[in-house]
Chains A and B, each alone.
Chain A
């Protein structure tokens, strides 16, 4: 069965600093990879996804993630964070051909001035 590991439960960072949120998955078959963001008191929203093709995917608000098949990773990065990026971020994986999303335990990003 597939699993997702987010090693960092919390990442504190200062505003305008770069950040990387780590995600590793385990699966021996083709997968689709997702990052979801959860702002306080809200549901999950899709941030970006990797399905196929270019291994670097970007979101509209400056985040990017790179699919690395050999390291089975899908780390999320942003070169300069804002206070408004404070949220919990979930990495998720779905086996190709299946519907079930398997989530990591989440990383809380805390951006301070």
Chain B
């Protein structure tokens, strides 16, 4: 089954404690991205990757890092989480092409930073 898998689904952490949210896709997609979803703001892109070892900032990258060492994995790293990073996070993947293809989303990670 084609899917994007995120872990964990729920996470409560304390300010300043480094954490990683994993994302893996089994569709051999080149393009992967991270979004955060906040009430009234919709989904905003954090980082994206066009392919292995190629990553770039999205609209709200401050406080986040990513890496793309393998095609299937695209982890999101919060080196020093702060309460304003409390949010619902989604990983997505799609074929890199003309833009007319569907983006597949993970189930989401609800992060609370206290």
Contact = CB atoms under 8 A, between A and B. Distances in A.
Interface of A: 4, 6, 9, 32, 34, 36, 41-46, 49, 51, 90, 94-101, 103-106
B42 A44 contact: no
Report the interface size class on chain B.
20 to 34
B69 interface: no
A106 B42 contact: yes
Secondary structure dominating the interface of A: loop
A41 B90 CA distance: 12
Contact of B43 (A9, A45, A49, A103): A103
Contacts of B103: 34, 46, 101
B100 A32 contact: yes
A44 B103 CA distance: 9
Given A42-B107, A43-B106, A44-B90, A105 B98 contact: no
Interface of B: 4, 31, 33, 35, 40-45, 48, 50, 58, 90, 92, 94, 96, 98-100, 102-103, 105-108
12 contacts: A34-B102, A43-B105, A45-B105, A49-B102, A90-B42, A95-B99, A99-B31, A99-B96, A101-B43, A101-B45, A101-B92, A103-B43
B63 to A, nearest CB: 20
